Amino acid sequence: MPAPTPTVWTIKALLAWTTDFLKSKNVEGAKLETEILLAHVLGCKRVDLFVRYDEQPTEAERAKFRELIHRRVAGWPTAYLIGSRDFYLLSFEVDPAVLIPRSDTETLVGEAFKILKPLAAPAVLDLGTGSGCIAISLAHQKKDSRVTAVDVSPDALGVAKRNATKHGVADRVTFLQGDLFGPVAPGSAFDVVVSNPPYIAQSEFAELSAEVRDHEPRLALDGGPDGLAFYRRIAAGVGPFLKPNGSLLLEIGWKQEDAVRGLLNNRPELELGPTIKDLNKNPRVVTAKKK
């Protein structure tokens, strides 16, 4: 049960009581979630909370904090509540139109950057850009790159464009609305094509956590009956859009390595590369090159 209600609501008391409350509601990472939400309400960094322990937030600030805590307990992801998520050195605006960036996807960005780093003015294509976290991170890290980012959702592209402007790469990232390769000009060729496509099998939706299933966009999650629909289409369509020796990097679900490698291996224009593991040692990125 939550601790007794404090008589004075200092920052220290708010953190302690709310952490205990979220734990009682089985919210994962209760302490971190509490700190993130309170820092958001107070307009400060998390680290600042600990030097302000004895301060008493105003009633208005406490009311806003209570509202966010109630929404968090109801299943709303913290990233949507505060409107941002940190990813690969940058902070990205997020809202329910886009998938919340995951740390696992940083594996894809890191591997793509290794390939791009020695290239002069490389061209990159990001399929299903969502918040723009992959495209913008690559443009931010590789200053002479030109990135094309595609998404079928106009609302997602609105978020991605704001993120590109925020991080000073809007002049080097071109956003196109459409389905995979559909809006990309015929004859375009890229040094690297990246994608974190929807890969949840329709039969697996019931197993997802409520905060993902009920709040994140199904459009960005639904990979068809077996979760492989987008991999099939990317494998079949990528050839003309890769330069000779150009690289394809696909994020995968941890159980999909063999299936996705099989799809790419069946394409005569592609040569399979290694599968890259994430920090948890799970297979995370399948790679291939154009012959």
The owner of tokens 């199904």 is 218
Tokens of 208: 């997802």
How far from 12 is each of 2, 53, 199, CA to CA, in Å?
15, 5, 42
Tell me the DSSP string of 26-81: T-TTHHHHHHHHHHHHHTS-HHHHTT-TT----HHHHHHHHHHHHHHHTT--HHHH
Mean pLDDT of the chain: 95
For residues 57 and 42, is the Cβ–Cβ distance under 8 A?
A: yes
Task: Cite the DSSP H helix spans in 74-218.
Answer: 78-82, 106-116, 133-141, 154-166, 210-215
57 annotated as ligand-binding: no
222 annotated as ligand-binding: no
pTM for the full predicted model: 0.91
State the DSSP H helix or E strand holding residue 234, giving kind and residue range, or none if neither.
Answer: helix 229-237
Assign residue 101 a region: left if phi > 0, alpha if psi is -120 to 50, beta otherwise? beta
pLDDT at 186: 94
151 annotated as ligand-binding: yes
The backbone torsions φ and ψ at residue 102, rounded to the nearest 5 degrees and listed phi first, read -110, 150
pLDDT at 4: 66
132 annotated as ligand-binding: yes
26 annotated as ligand-binding: no
pLDDT at 152: 97
pLDDT at 277: 97
129 annotated as ligand-binding: yes
Question: Would you give per-residue pLDDT tens digits along the chain (291 residues)?
Answer: 555 677 789 999 999 999 999 999 999 899 999 999 999 999 999 999 999 999 999 999 999 999 999 999 999 999 999 999 999 989 999 999 999 999 999 999 999 999 999 999 999 999 999 999 999 999 999 999 999 999 999 999 999 999 999 999 999 999 999 999 999 999 999 999 999 999 999 989 888 888 899 999 999 999 999 999 999 999 999 999 999 999 999 999 989 999 999 999 999 999 999 999 999 999 999 999 999
pLDDT at 107: 97
The backbone torsions φ and ψ at residue 172, rounded to the nearest 5 degrees and listed phi first, read -120, 0
The backbone torsions φ and ψ at residue 266, rounded to the nearest 5 degrees and listed phi first, read -80, -5
- The CA dihedral of 231, 235, 236, 237, to the nearest 10 degrees, is 100
pLDDT at 128: 97
